[in-house]
Amino acid sequence: MNTDHLDLVQVHSSPSRAVLEANGTVEAMQALQREGKVRFLGMSSVLPDLRDHIAMGVFDVFQIPYSALQPEHEEVVREAARAGAGTIIRGGVARGAPDQDPDRKQMQAFWQTFVKSKRDLWAAAKLDELAVDMGKTELLLRFVLGHEDLHTTIVGTSKLEHLTANVAAASRGPLPPALRLEVKRRIAAVMN
């Protein structure tokens, strides 16, 4: 890697504060940071532990799942940013759920269930009506880009044509505010 340090080290799987403290995880990360081996400390986290992680005041960056089809972390993304942390959105295009081929052999049962639930949510909210001049992935990506406390997003792609499409979608900017609100309204109506 031709470097003597890592820019970011993240804890994954959202361990509770008690688990982090019992294992000395934060202390070990901070020691690496003091030694100059790590620049920033991060946490890939989800509710309910995410609020405790923010309150700890030790993480520079939070990786948080969020999309139009997975909105439960919307407010806590805001809380992380207001606490001075960077925000990295993962799953912003719902892990490809609306466009994912459910018959791919490598897809595990969990992902099949996840994809089906997100496809069902997309259909129930009639989001195709709102994606008339764009694909499903573009609508989802541009929705995420409209979150005012987003610093970056992990889109994830395995093919050059997906990357090209994602860059083109992102270059169109966030969804117009009225369209973004309508997506949120429709999702909330279905989820409640």
pLDDT at 102: 45
pLDDT at 192: 86
pLDDT at 87: 98
- Which tokens hold the place of 134? 């764009």
Q: Rg of the chain over CA atoms, in angstroms?
A: 18
Mean per-residue pLDDT, 119-143: 93
pLDDT tens per residue, range 87-120: 999 998 865 545 554 445 544 554 466 667 888 8
Give dist(CA 68, CA 50) in Å, integer.
Answer: 19
Boundaries of every domain in the chain: 94-191
DSSP readout, 51-86?
HHHHHHT--SEEEEE-BTTBGGGHHHHHHHHHTT-E
